[in-house]
Amino acid sequence: MDTINTWGMWLRHLLEVAATMAFTLSGVMVAARSRLDAVGVYAVAFLAAFGGGTLRDLLLDQRPFFWVRHVEYLWGVLALATAAMLFMRQRHFEPTERIMQLPDALGLGLFAAVGVDVASSAGMPALVAVLMGVVTPVFGGVLRDIVCNEIPTAFRDHRPYALCAFIGGWVYLGLAGLSTPEWLALSATVTITAGLRILALWRDWQLPLWRVEH
């Protein structure tokens, strides 16, 4: 049992690191398209990587923030943003954006699971816990786009994104209610959330638009 729990802990940590790096790179690319200077690139990268988790910790009154507890995340974001500015050129952007869709989907699933797990452990009601699972992966991208003067991708892409995290959060709570081991609940949430997002991209599923008749 200890071996299983240890494996689950390492799985969660590795996926969290990968997701943080994916969201960092998305911030760097949006900042580059907006022609920001180096300080702006670092700021947008940090917002993309840590914005959602920071808002979650604020709303749940969690201190210190998660990126203060794991300072290695800060160094990783700094290193990746620096490397991207040194080595990425315009021709790299289009293929990188396509390749990033998979780790971004995995990051969505992981941060959704982490968010609902943290909120549930804090004794929050089920709906609040699920919403924290949506805020954690989504809000960083919203801040990233707002700072770069763009309509947030999560709102204008029309392919399910936040909805996938919402569904995944209920999956996590359902499994937790059945006394499922944490590592299994996290893995299932990541798989279902990321799988829904990948299916939405592959099948080009679109959320219905709200059309107001004149």
Please report whether residue 92 resides in a domain. Answer: yes
What is the rounded average pLDDT of the residues 27-46?
Answer: 88
Tally of domains within the chain: 1
pLDDT of residue 93: 59
Q: What DSSP string describes 154-213?
A: HHHS-SSSHHHHHHHHHHHHHHHHTT--HHHHHHHHHHHHHHHHHHHHHHT--PPP-PPP
Higher per-residue confidence, 94 vs 172: 172
Span 44-101, pLDDT tens digits:
999 999 999 899 999 999 888 888 888 989 999 999 999 988 887 666 556 556 666 7
pLDDT tops 60 at residue 5:
no
3-state percent helix, strand, coil for the chain, nearest multiple of 5: 80, 0, 20
pLDDT given at position 163: 93
Q: Would you say residue 161 lies in a domain?
A: yes
pLDDT band at 197 (very low <50, low <70, confident <90, very high): very high
| 214 in a structural domain | no
Range of the domain at 198: 2-203
| Residue 55 placed within a domain | yes
Q: Cα–Cα distance between 25 and 47 in angstroms, integer?
A: 11
Using the predicted structure, report yes or no on whether residue 169 has a pLDDT greater than 90: yes
Q: Is 94 domain-assigned?
A: yes
From the list 106, 103, 91, 102, the residue with the least C-alpha distance to 29 is 91
As a whole number, the mean pLDDT across the chain is 84
* Residue 37 belongs to some domain of the structure: yes
| Residue 49, both tokens | 């990587």
